[in-house]
Structure 1
Amino acid sequence: MNRETVAPRPPHPSQDLSAFPARLVQAGTRWRRGHRKKHEPWFFASDGHGRFNLSEPMGTCYLASSDDFAARESIGPDSARSGVVAATFLSGRVVSSLTLPETIVAAHVSSNEAFPLAGAVGLCSMDTYEVSRQWAQELHESGFEGIWYHPRFSPGADARAPAVFGPAGAATGEVHEQKTLRAVVEDMAIDIVDPGNLDEFEIIDEPPED
């Protein structure tokens, strides 16, 4: 294996993941999530666009520990790297403050103890999601109720992000407040530009719909 080899690989079929490093995420803790205002804040995705999405009938809801962490995950990799986002993308999107209703046991994939386990370290930074989704599915089947990981586009040591497992689709839950995504981004080092000026910047793809 050389430095250019992608370390993460699917869990071995015979591997027992029940002893995977775990992190309790306590009921009543406050989290943030970026989403379209017309949609429910609690949504468990099961398509191929999410890093740790489970397959139907289950899905995954991605939370973050602060408004700006949630915003970076919402605007996508190209905007996070370039520091530029289109005003039209921000329109109609919000960051909601949510309360976790029940304590969950999450697999801690960013833990040092996860490194020996078939190359699990790196699951939160790889560009494609096939392997990370396989890990999520196997961890779920091993009894875990979510994944605790370090968000890819929030490099600070205090960045925390639980991906919570639940029945696929929209769900109801406690929501404390909402801020427009634009208001959050305006307080960050990200330029908001009109679509007509985007040719001046290198933005490869729009983030997927949510």
Structure 2
Amino acid sequence: MSRDSIALRPPARPLQNFPSHALTPDQSLIRGHQVANGPWWFSSSSGGGRFDLTPPRGTCYLAFDEDTAIRETVGEALATAGVISTDFAATRRLSTLTVPHAHQLADTCTAKAADFGLTRELTSMTPYAVPQEWAAAFDAATFAGILYQTRFTTGPNPNAVGLFGEAGEADWPTDPSPVPLTAAALRCGFTVAGPPRSVRIISPPTN
């Protein structure tokens, strides 16, 4: 296989003994979501998320910090342009949450994960078919979610979780005072801006 080919394949080894991490209610989580929606949304494969499960199962994506939540909420547009659109920011907010009970997560960031055929490509590769197969296998192995490092951030430590549950909105406690994405982004040092109000075109001088 060429070194410039994606090496990660669907899981082929039993995952019951895969390394785990306990997510407890003591851990604060940040969820970026649309203003019109609640934060505890578990999306199915029709939602296009990296670790989405097949209905009736779903996945809820949460970060450990605001910076990660913002980068993952905005995605490629922020990575390429370095600016968050004011129109986009106006439709999003960040909720600070905690899980109502402990969840045992598959720890994809530990060195021993490689012994099961896993690589860092899990959180960077596109399309999402193979990551979704890993998520389905972890769910079948009775893990309650995935601990991972996100695509649009850097750093040595895990910074996000994908929780598994029934697809749709979970009736879990929510943040009574979610923060507008614009305010959180500015606090974290991001630029939030709209398109130029007008563009003046100057014709080159004629000889």
**TM bucket by the smaller chain?**
0.7 to 0.9
Q: Which residue of 1 aligns with 2:129?
A: 130
Indicate how the Cα distance of structure 1 residues 174 and 45 shifts in structure 2: closer, same or farther if over 3 A, else same: same
**Residue 202 of structure 2 is aligned to residue 190 of structure 1:** no
Q: Which residue of 2 aligns with 1:39?
A: 37
Unaligned runs of 5+ in 1: 200-210
Tell me the TM-score normalised to structure 1 length.
Answer: 0.86
Mapping of residues 41-56 of structure 1, within 5 Å: 41-46=39-44, 47-56=46-55
Letter in 2 for 1:22: S
- Contact 1:148 1:163 survives alignment (8 Å): yes
Q: Secondary structure at the match of 1:52?
A: coil
Letter in 2 for 1:34: G
Deviations 1:65-121 (A, max 9, x none): 111211111001232232112110111210000111111111111221111322343
The percent identity for this pair of structures is 34
How many pairs are equivalent? 196
- Contact 2:109 2:158 survives alignment (8 Å): no
Q: Secondary structure at the match of 1:136?
A: helix
Letter in 2 for 1:29: Q
Return the alpha-carbon distance in structure 2 between the equivalents of residues 77 and 5 of structure 1.
Answer: 22
| Structure 1 residue 158: Cα displacement | 4.8
| Structure 1 residue 61: Cα displacement | 0.3
Q: Secondary structure at the match of 1:60?
A: strand
Q: Which of 1 and 2 has greater Rg? A: 2
Q: Which moved more, 1:65-74 or 1:112-121?
A: 112-121
Return the alpha-carbon distance in structure 2 between the equivalents of residues 4 and 119 of structure 1.
Answer: 17
Tell me the TM-score normalised to structure 2 length.
Answer: 0.88
Unaligned runs of 5+ in 2: 200-207
| Structure 1 residue 127: Cα displacement | 2.5
- Contact 2:51 2:59 survives alignment (8 Å): yes
**Residue 29 of structure 2 is aligned to residue 24 of structure 1:** no
What RMSD over aligned residues (CA atoms) do the two structures have, in Å? 1.8
Mapping of residues 22-171 of structure 1, within 5 Å: 22-46=20-44, 47-158=46-157, 160-171=159-170
Q: Which residue of 2 aligns with 1:7?
A: 7
Letter in 1 for 2:8: P
- Contact 1:94 1:180 survives alignment (8 Å): yes
- Contact 2:147 2:162 survives alignment (8 Å): yes
Letter in 2 for 1:43: W
| Structure 1 residue 159: Cα displacement | 5.1
Return the alpha-carbon distance in structure 2 between the equivalents of residues 57 and 196 of structure 1.
Answer: 44
| Structure 1 residue 189: Cα displacement | 4.1
Indicate how the Cα distance of structure 1 residues 119 and 29 shifts in structure 2: closer, same or farther if over 3 A, else same: closer
| Structure 1 residue 45: Cα displacement | 0.4
- Contact 2:22 2:103 survives alignment (8 Å): yes
Deviations 1:153-208 (A, max 9, x none): 221335511110010011222223311001111123432221457x9xxxxxxxxx
Q: Which moved more, 1:187-196 or 1:122-131?
A: 187-196
Q: Post-superposition, which runs of at least 4 consecutive aligned residues in structure 1 deviate over 4 A?
A: none
Letter in 1 for 2:192: I
